[in-house]
Structure 1
Amino acid sequence: MAMPEARIAVGVEEEFHIVDTRTRQLVSRSVLLLDMLPDDRFTEELQRSTVEANSRPCHNLADLARDLNAMRRTAITAAEEVGLGIVAAGSVPLADLEQMKISPEARYERMLDDYQVLTREQLICGTQVHAELADRDLAIAVAHRLAPWLPPLLALSASSPYWLGADTGYASYRTLVWERWPTTGPMARFGSAAEYEEMIAELIRSGVISDAGMIYYDIRPSAHVPTVELRICDSCPRVDDIVLIAGLFRALVARELAELRDDPGREVPLDPVRAARWQAARSGLEGELVDPVEGTPAPAADVVARLVGALRPHLEEAGDWELVSALAEDALGRGGSAERQRRAFARRGSLADVVDLLLDETRPGGLTTGSGYPSAA
């Protein structure tokens, strides 16, 4: 198994909610919107209330940020022409299940028939980060071994405290909605890509899933490109947070590839990972997380700061240390999206104010994007 170069290319798939700017309600208007967007960068999702944007693979995080911002500008401009808004968040507070529609595609219609309420309630959006890794055996090994380090990344992204008009008490309720599907959570250890593919074939033969795209693990080898794919995160209102997560994920992959040389057979116990994942969904950045090293609770800011510090050699090797450390400091200083949404609601008791906050934060800009990204060369 050949090891890749130090600076691994990363790319992002962003899922966006579509809302009516008058009512702030989630609306099933993706067919209209996609007709206005370039089809090489935007695509449909399961629900017609969602569109997906696909970045180009980038070696430089500053280039990734610019590409993400450009796609958001394109989507927002098109949406505003027809009275719609684009929201990047795990969920939006205002939605009527009776008004939601599935995208007109045979695969999605089969999913609706097979999974019923799971499909109808899939009113959630995620951010997926791809790290280039052409050797599928390596991707299988990395996907399992990285499981303990993913809950802090979930906490950084947590942006779904509201669900169907109510405060859930969670920072990422999207995580609980998502985990109802039969193939979610941390990935078990497989000895090879062939063993992993046989597992998928067995699941398809069982009739529980219909294709390899329905493997929804928190991290997995991509089903369609030569990457390992991070899937645990909510959609992030701020591009800065996506860039932060992408930089940390790339460094985690690089570190794990280096450790594979010395310890190729390590197996990760998954029950503690599931518990840590739940805790991250519950608390986000505002409470405690389970420390991936100690297995004990610690303030979320301390866990994230220790993770960033531990990854410094790999961040420096990729040219990411200056940018990622600055973005982490900013993210921890302003707090998580879930808390910002709750503060917006508390001012007037209005969920429309929460949607307005999310619409505003989804627009390109913010502290780092406004002043320009430092060079990552």
Structure 2
Amino acid sequence: MRFRMGVEEEFHVVDAETGLLVPEAPVLLDDLPSDRFTGEFQLGVIESQSGVHDSPAALRADLVGTRRTLDKVASQRGLTVVAAGTVPLVPASSRGFGPDIRYTEMAGEYQALADEQLICGAQVHVDVPDRDTAVRAMPRLSPWLPVLLALSASSPFWQGADTGFASWRTMVWQRWPSAGPAGTYASAAEYDAAVDDLIRSGVISDAGMIYTDVRPSAHQKTLELRICDACPDVDTVVLVAVLFRAMVVDACEAVARRAPLRPVTHEWLRAATWRAARSGLEGDLLDPTTLEPAPAHRVVCSMLKHLRPTLTAFGDWHSVAAATDALLASGSAARRLRTAAFDSSWREVVGLLADLTHAAEDEYEPRPSAPITEANTCVA
């Protein structure tokens, strides 16, 4: 099986001059191909959908092209788009919901949750053999998903203030009743029955409102990663996608050979996600191999060691190791944004985010912005 991957990226639409979030996604969609771009719940957010790819290089080229298309269309209207979990400048006038009747009903039912859904994520889809395998694979890879969140963390600011979190988007997102770690199910039928029970409860309206960290697609034979922030740096998105593919491959193979499943409690998974959202790459994370806290770089390296055979088999090991070292050396996007905000205005921070969103070179060669040391390398 090929285990291809695809990515959906969400972008904030902001005024290029003021840096304010604006409800102008519908204006941009008028000039964008409908098969690749869609609106979202909030009118200040636009989503892109990549093609399906075998290689990181092809995926990256697709994402870079998408961002350039968006930038060209937005700049013609005095706008720009930003890939980040949150943006700091959100006036009341920026809020508004898409015209879909489903969105209108959700806005009425969830009120403040809906009003504050001013967040963007990056979702990754990876092929799976079938939905039964997808559902059985979820608990095998769930303990590692908070590490991917830490790699992507890009949302320290909310409503003009520093939250103290690397991913405040996670805190906003997890207020929804169906968000958080995925459960453990014996089959797709059992999973679907649990979803039906939730819908009958009236707490959610449809299966599209299953907002767990990972979920099987309702329409394709894929597993979908949903825990990550949108990433200013396109190479972080590609890194997360390649790592998630390796996790899915390993989990599906473990399902096929009926390997014992190491039990990890729902409470531990929630704690690991909270820790990743709080710390990013700049503090401790919870290590799935020990269930104990450890410095983020050690947990990231533990993940790479765990995935190395599969990454090597796909020909991804060297590029992933180099990209991970570069990210560990430079720190999370959240840390870099805090550094920029120390002596800059919020408008300048938004400008930096926009520049990072559109700054990708045609070909990627990881270049760490800080010296590689023992504390930030995973390569022996």
Which category of TM-score, normalised to the shorter sequence, fits these structures? over 0.9
Q: Give 1:287's aligned residue.
A: 283
Match of 2:45 among 44, 50, 56: 50
Q: CA deviation at 1:256?
A: 1.3
Match of 1:76 among 65, 71, 80: 71
Distance in 2 between the 1:13 and 1:184 partners?
Answer: 18
Q: CA deviation at 1:346?
A: 0.6
Match of 2:341 among 299, 322, 345: 345
Distance in 2 between the 1:74 and 1:99 partners?
Answer: 23
Q: Give 1:161's aligned residue.
A: 156
Q: Give 2:33's aligned residue.
A: 38
Distance in 2 between the 1:161 and 1:371 partners?
Answer: 24
Distance in 2 between the 1:297 and 1:203 partners?
Answer: 33
Closer, same or farther: CA 64–99 of 1 in aligned 2, 3 Å: closer
Match of 1:333 among 329, 333, 337: 329
Distance in 2 between the 1:59 and 1:364 partners?
Answer: 24
Q: Give 2:94's aligned residue.
A: 99
Match of 1:300 among 296, 313, 316: 296
SS at match of 1:311: helix
Q: Could you report, residue by residue, the CA deviation over 1:90-148 in whole angstroms, capped at 9, with x for unpaired residues?
A: 00010013431111111100100111111110000000000111410110011222111
Distance in 2 between the 1:307 and 1:366 partners?
Answer: 28
Closer, same or farther: CA 60–188 of 1 in aligned 2, 3 Å: same
Match of 1:365 among 360, 370, 376: 360
Q: Could you report, residue by residue, the CA deviation over 1:248-297 in whole angstroms, capped at 9, with x for unpaired residues?
A: 10111111122221425554322111111100000001111111111121
SS at match of 1:347: coil
Distance in 1 between the 2:198 and 2:129 partners?
Answer: 24
How many pairs are equivalent? 366
Q: Report the more deviating stretch, 267-276 or 25-34.
A: 267-276
Match of 1:233 among 225, 228, 232: 228
Q: CA deviation at 1:184?
A: 0.6
SS at match of 2:282: coil
Q: Could you report, residue by residue, the CA deviation over 1:58-94 in whole angstroms, capped at 9, with x for unpaired residues?
A: 0111100000000000011000000001100000010
Distance in 2 between the 1:344 and 1:225 partners?
Answer: 41
Q: CA deviation at 1:299?
A: 1.2
Distance in 1 between the 2:299 and 2:363 partners?
Answer: 23
Distance in 1 between the 2:260 and 2:286 partners?
Answer: 25
Q: In the alignment, is the contact (CA less than 8 A) between 1:157 and 1:233 conserved in 2?
A: yes
Q: Give 1:375's aligned residue.
A: none
Q: Does 2:276 align with 1:273? A: no
Q: Give 1:117's aligned residue.
A: 112
Distance in 2 between the 1:257 and 1:192 partners?
Answer: 13
Q: Give 1:24's aligned residue.
A: 19
Q: Give 1:315's aligned residue.
A: 311
Q: CA deviation at 1:301?
A: 1.3
Q: Does 2:178 align with 1:194? A: no
Paired AA for residue 356 in structure 1: G
TM-score, normalised with respect to structure 2: 0.93
Where do residues 3-18 of structure 1 align in structure 2 (5 Å cutoff)? Answer: 5=1, 7-18=2-13
Structure 2, unpaired ranges of 5+? 368-380
Closer, same or farther: CA 106–308 of 1 in aligned 2, 3 Å: same
Q: Could you report, residue by residue, the CA deviation over 1:134-168 in whole angstroms, capped at 9, with x for unpaired residues?
A: 41011001122211100110000000000010100
Q: CA deviation at 1:214?
A: 0.3
Q: In the alignment, is the contact (CA less than 8 A) between 1:97 and 1:121 conserved in 2?
A: no
Distance in 2 between the 1:69 and 1:340 partners?
Answer: 21
SS at match of 2:343: helix
Match of 1:65 among 60, 66, 69: 60
